[in-house]
Each structure stands twice: as structure tokens, then as C-alpha cells.
Amino acid sequence: MHRPVWTMVAMRATLHIEHPVRDFDAWKRVFDSFHDFRVAHDVRSVRVGRRVDAASHVAIDLVFDSEDAAAAFHRVLQEQVWSRQQATDLLAGGPSAAIHNLVEDTTISP
């Protein structure tokens, strides 16, 4: 029987973003170029995924120490990133975003 490994985590908030992209490789190069920008805005970790049934649809999870930090970065994205022509050229639709608070982080190990 596999037992979960429980870990205590500090309060964390995730800014979950989803949007379709025109060209994943081009989008990913631009996304990667914003690494220092994310660091400067206190992003603690990044996860990028693609939908299995729609590879041009990406999901991004940006983890912050607090809900306030996640909300502040969301505003920065809206005002300084998504409004730029470069974003318009790469995105095939508007992004959707929501902030989630981490409730549990369990690793199931053999």
C-alpha cells in the first residue's frame, strides 16, 4: 500500500493562467525571456503545461508567498505585459487568470 507523504507548507498563493497561443515555441521563447521580470516580482516557482487535447492551449502556475503578491503581479501582467503588441501577436485569445490558495500539498510515493 502506498502512503501519502504529508508536508507542511507556508501559506502560498498560485496565479493560474490559461490561454491559447499561435505558436508554442515562439511563445515559450518570449515567456522564458521574462524570467528576471518574474523574479523581480517575487514569483517563487513556475509550472507550464499544455493541454493534451489542444497543444496550443497553455496553462501557467506562478506561485507566490501571499495572495497580495499574486494579485499585484496579475495587475502588472494586465497593465504591462498582456497589453503589449508582442503579446497580442503571440496569443490566440485573451488569457484567463485566477488566484488559488494552497490548501494541501501531498506527494504520493511508493
Structure confidence at residue 87 (pLDDT)? 76
Q: What is the pLDDT along the chain (110 residues), one digit of tens a residue?
A: 555 555 555 668 999 999 999 999 999 999 999 999 999 999 999 999 999 999 899 999 999 999 999 999 999 999 988 888 887 888 888 899 999 998 877 888 77
Structure confidence at residue 94 (pLDDT)? 85
Structure confidence at residue 105 (pLDDT)? 77
Going from the C-alpha of 72 to that of each of 36, 46, 75, 93, the distances in angstroms are 17, 16, 5, 22
Could you tell me the domains of the chain?
13-103 (3.30.70.100)
Cα dihedral across residues 17, 19, 21, 24: positive or negative:
positive
